[in-house]
Structure 1
Amino acid sequence: MHYLYSFPIIFSFAGVAVSASNSTVDLSWHAPSYSKLNDLNLVINGTDVFGFVFNSSKTPAGLPYSTYNWCNMPHVRSSEYSKVNSSYKLEYVHVIHRHHKRTPYASNTFPRESYAWDCSDEGLYYHAAPFTGANAYSSAATYWSVFTSPSNPLAPQGFNGTCQFPQLTSGGLDDSRQHGKDVFGVYHSLLGFLPGHYDSKKMQFRVTNNVITSQVASNLIPGMFPSLDGKSVPLLIQPSSVDSLEPGYTCSSASSLFSSYGAGSTNANWTAHLTASSGLVRTLDAISGISSSATDWHKSWDHYFDNLSARLCHAKSLPCNSTTGTCVTQTQANEVFRLGEYEYNYLYRSAGPQTLEYARRSYGIWVAELADHLRAAQNCSSSVIYRHDVAHDGSISRLLALLQIQEMVWPGMGSEVIFELYSKHNEWFVRVLWGGQVLKSSSPALGHEVDMVPLNSILAYFDGLVGRGAALIPGLCNQS
């Protein structure tokens, strides 16, 4: 069953099949499957959160590992991993995943929070050392220790305590290390693909300019290679102004397009859910102290979603108003979570062809880099067999939009997409895993199930959307 959408095609490219590599490639947007996530009636009038987990990194016993868990999303593990036929040889693996659980961003905290948040059980290390020259030496392993001076009359906005907002919590660091163990358990222990020890010529790790991704990598890597505990490991990073992973590069036409249909817009398809949930907004504003004129808090459910989910993931109580004694209830939190899931489903898939257009412009450079890595593996022009990128929900959302995933969700903590490249008798194939399982796409160009799809088909789709080497992106981004 497919949901019928009436959203207009505002970019003609999105509905065109073009010729690439002497074959016709369908580059058009295809509607996602109908689901409870894009049914506004169920979102507003529901009670739970569709069976999703929002209160622990551990999925409750009795639920399958594949269950959506916002605090710690499913990823590849040897116990669930499905091997391909032994006649195929694994040649290259590219992992991209969202960072693990953290404190809220400061911008997502209330003006005054009713309790403190303590992070004294971990250290955020920041130090530097020269590699060469007469002054080469080892540096002290310095870390930040957050405090509030009794002589400083200014109280911080939001939570008091010993945390930066944001930072990976100790629980998030534990999840990061386990993620590394699980990935290694598949690609080394189960498949024998990765070597038993870190080899910088064969593997690369990459992060964004947001330090929380480095905090994840510093625990994920020794999860994979315990001998690297306390050792130096390079993390690839691009300058913030051109970073394709976060993404950080400017694409004015993508921003304008998003503004026409997404958060902050007056598009009726967007504002419908905000109007329907206006009563909940007023209730939460009264508890939180957020002003009704705080535009950023009311153009989407992003702020309340982050604030409430971060508490529950760390077994903290829902917030109360210290003056009135009124507290946010679990029922209200559930509605916030349903609304957030609805928003991401809309923004990256259900809003129509503009979601694909937005994603290709704002994430096309990373996709072109991926395509080049797949080519290099096919042509044996690179010694790197494994790449691992630690990114953000916006990174994963855009990628899922480009892959036209059938059911779009808000990518939770640790959400993972893996591209596996296989060879067989001089033919090459790609399998894409989402949450450890084969990704299901609405696009016929990707085979609907992206399972051993010919590499040439994948490359034709990527090249058609973004151009080889992202050749199309600068021109598209500069369109008025």
Structure 2
Amino acid sequence: MHYLYSFPVLFSFASVVSASNATVDLSWYAPPSTKVSDLKSVINGTDTWGFVFNSSKTPAGLPYSTYNWCNMPHVRCSEYPNVDPSYKLQYVHVIHRHHKRTPYAANTFPRESYAWDCSDEGLYYHAAPFTGSNANSSASTYWSVFTSSSNPLAPQGFNGTCQFPQLTSGGLDDSHQHGKDVFGVYHDLLGFLPSKYDSRKMQFRVTNNVITSQVASNLIPGMFPSLKGDSIPLMIQPNSIDSLEPAYTCSSASSLFSSYGAGSTNANWTAHLTASSNLVKALDAISGISPSATAWHQSYDHYFDNLSARLCHSKPLPCNSTTGTCVTQAQANQVFRLGEYEYNYLYRSAGPQTLEYARRSYGIWIAELANRLRAAQNGSDPIIYRHDVAHDGSIARLLALLQIQEMVWPGMGSEIIFELYEQRHQWFVRILWGGRVLRSSSPMLGDQVDMVPLNSLLAYFDGLVGRGAVLVPGLCAQS
């Protein structure tokens, strides 16, 4: 079942005619109903549907493809879905969410009952001149967090030696292994990547949030061990126009999101908040969060991040030091189910506005990808491999644009890969999600996005955002 755009703030169309006079179907197609989108299952359930929230290592006996919030599945040799050898791999573009970290400071309680220590790693921040004498060389300086006995103010949230957020040592290990696994596929298995890093053939990109650079600094030596300690450029756009995070301003996208999502009075959104109001009251009593703290009560984002970060790092669930009451595993499980439900709703099941929101707020990155694929096809770009380290919002928007069948909250390390192949002068794209072929609801992409003609994918992208993202500024300016 598909729907034509009918919302007054939307750029209303369901299909366009491409340059080749072929009709391009740009409709939103409803995803199938799943446990994640079933509010009754979310409210009345007890477990997390087999999803893992307490370790980077998926328990023995469960398939590698199991959803693991702490360390999501990605490509690796043992599970890689091989392609008919008549297809020649020509270009690879990886985008994945950063790996596990401490919570954001905004997601910590006013006073946490224990400290969080990060003294087993260093956050390096330094600048080095490319020209000048050796006397101007720089030192490799890193931050060492401390609190002073002379400072009468206690930090909000966790005490200790961490920044909030920062990649933990476990997150750095996961980043390194992610790099090893990607290299194991595209070098060891497929012979596509060179054995040594070559800046003429590959690029790595990050956002202006430093946690993505922390990931890249460990992922790259995972791919190329000889680079340990070397200087490697990370591509980054100015913060005000960064398309990867995304950070560029799109007023109409923000307005659209606020009309149906977190913070809205839309009945479809508030239904789960109303149904779980007793849970929030219990959590507030333990955490010390005021019932008037609006941000904590518009969605489960804050509680989800706080509780999942603890469990991913084998830390206990929080307790109230005054009453002795603690968050139970059952309560944490319900928070996780509700968070998964929210992302499913916000980026897929809420309706056509999810596709519209994604094309406006992530359309520039999509246009950049389309241009990369074109350049690889016509041989005008020597880069054969690009790797972007991004955020859950980046991955969620991209999955919305691809109309994934089962939308979940993209966990730590969530990965999407675009592979471009050539066969007898014909070009095809395969998209992998979590190491497996992505399944889409859009007939333009196919049930499985496996060897879709490149021209079909480009026509879909161009129809949504315009070639070179020419539609995006106008869409973002709409009232």
Instruction: Name the counterpart of 2:110.
Output: 111
Q: 1:15 to 1:335 in 2, by over 3 A?
A: farther
2:93 maps to: 94
Letter of the aligned partner of 1:170 in structure 2? S
Is the CA contact (8 Å cut-off) linking 2:373 and 2:420 kept in structure 1? yes
For 1:224, the aligned partner's letter is: M
User: SS of 1:271's equivalent?
Assistant: helix
Give unmatched runs, 5+ long, in structure 1.
none
Determine the structure 2 residue equivalent to 1:465: 464
Name the CA distance, whole Å, in 2 between partners of 1:53 and 1:177: 21
> Partner of 1:338 in structure 2?
337
| Structure 1 position 447, deviation (Å) | 1.4
Determine helix, strand or coil for the equivalent of 1:444: coil
Q: How does 1:161-176 map to 2 (within 5 A)?
A: 161-176=160-175
Aligned residue number for residue 130 of structure 1: 129
Partner SS for 2:427: strand
Q: Is the 8 A contact 2:3 2:352 kept in 1?
A: no
Q: Does 1:19 align with 2:21?
A: no
Q: Corresponding residue for 1:188?
A: 187
In the other structure, the counterpart of 2:37 is 38
Q: Return the alpha-carbon distance in structure 1 between the equivalents of residues 113 and 198 of structure 2.
A: 48
Aligned to 1:308: 307
Taking the aligned partners of 2:230 and 2:80, their CA distance within structure 1 comes to: 30
Q: CA deviation at 1:23?
A: 0.4
Confirm or deny: 8 A CA contact 1:415 1:435 kept in the other structure: yes
Query: What amino acid is aligned across from residue 431 of structure 1 in structure 2?
Result: R
Alignment of 1:390-401 (within 5 A): 390-401=389-400
- Asked if 1:153 is matched to 2:152, the reply is yes
What residue is the counterpart of 2:256 in the other structure?
Answer: 257
Equivalents in 1 of 2:25, 2:422: separation in Å?
24
Report the equivalent of 2:225: 226
1:182-227: CA deviation from partner (whole Å, max 9, x where unpaired) = 0000000000000000000000000000000000000000000001
Instruction: Check conservation: 1:429, 1:455, Cα contact below 8 A.
Output: yes
TM-aligned CA deviation for residue 10 of structure 1:
4.7
Q: Give how far 1:82 is off.
A: 1.0
How far 1:135 moved relative to its partner?
6.5
Q: Deviations over 1:119-166 (max 9, x none)?
A: 000000001110013477431110000000000000000000000000
Q: Secondary structure at the match of 1:446?
A: coil
The farther-off stretch of 18-27 and 211-220 is 18-27
Note if contact 2:79-2:435 (Cα within 8 Å) is conserved in structure 1.
Answer: yes
Q: Is the 8 A contact 1:9 1:15 kept in 2?
A: no
Change (3 A) 1:425 1:270: same
Matched position secondary structure for 1:338: helix
The Cα offsets for residues 380-430 of structure 1, whole Å up to 9 and x where unpaired, read as 001000000000000000000000000000000000000000001110000
Identity across matched positions, percent = 82
Asked if the contact 2:319/2:326 (under 8 Å) is kept, the reply is: yes
Quick one: distance in 1 between partners of 2:134 and 2:195?
Answer: 34
Output the TM-score relative to the length of structure 1: 0.98
Q: Counterpart of 1:380?
A: 379
The alpha carbon displacement at 1:7 in A equals 11
Return the letter of the residue paired with 2:308. Answer: S
Other-structure match for 2:236: 237
For 1:360 and 1:201, locate their aligned partners in 2 and report how far apart those are by CA, in whole Å. 31
Per-residue CA deviations over 1:46-86 (Å, capped at 9, x if unaligned) read 00011100000000000000000000000000000011000
Aligned counterparts of 1:443 and 1:14: Cα–Cα separation in 2: 17
Counterpart-to-counterpart distance in 2, 1:420 and 1:264: 38
The separation in 2 between residues aligned to 1:322 and 1:175, in whole angstroms, is 33
SS at match of 2:127: coil
Report the equivalent of 1:367.
366
SS in 1 for 2:455: helix
In 2, the alpha carbon distance for the partners of 1:136 and 1:64 equals: 55
Task: State the distance in 1 between where 2:359 and 2:451 align.
Answer: 23
Are the aligned partners of 2:6 and 2:12 in contact in 1 as well (CA < 8 Å)?
no
1:325-350 CA-to-partner distances (Å, cap 9, x unmatched) read 00000000000000000000000000
- Contact 2:5–2:12 (CA<8 Å) still a contact in 1? no
Q: Where does structure 1 differ by over 2 angstroms across 4 or more consecutive aligned residues?
A: 4-15, 133-138
Indicate conservation of the 8 Å contact 2:66/2:73, yes or no.
yes
Structure 2 residue 351 is matched with structure 1 residue 352: yes
For 1:127 and 1:134, the matched residues in 2 are separated by: 17
- Cα distance in 2 for partners of 1:27, 1:409 equals 22
Do the aligned residues in 2 keep the contact of 1:76 with 1:183 (CA within 8 Å)?
Answer: yes
Q: Which amino acid aligns with 1:19?
A: V
Q: Secondary structure at the match of 1:241?
A: helix
- Contact kept, 8 Å, 2:126 with 2:140, in 1: the verdict is yes
TM-score by length of 2: 0.98
| Residues in 1 aligned to 2:12 and 2:52: alpha-carbon distance in whole angstroms | 35
Corresponding position of 2:439? 440
User: Any conservation in 1 of the 2:58–2:66 contact (CA below 8 Å)?
Assistant: yes
SS in 1 for 2:29: coil
Q: Which residue of 2 aligns with 1:67?
A: 66
**Whole-Å Cα distance in 2 between the matches of residues 255 and 135 of structure 1?**
49
> Number of residues paired by the alignment?
478
What amino acid is aligned across from residue 54 of structure 1 in structure 2?
F
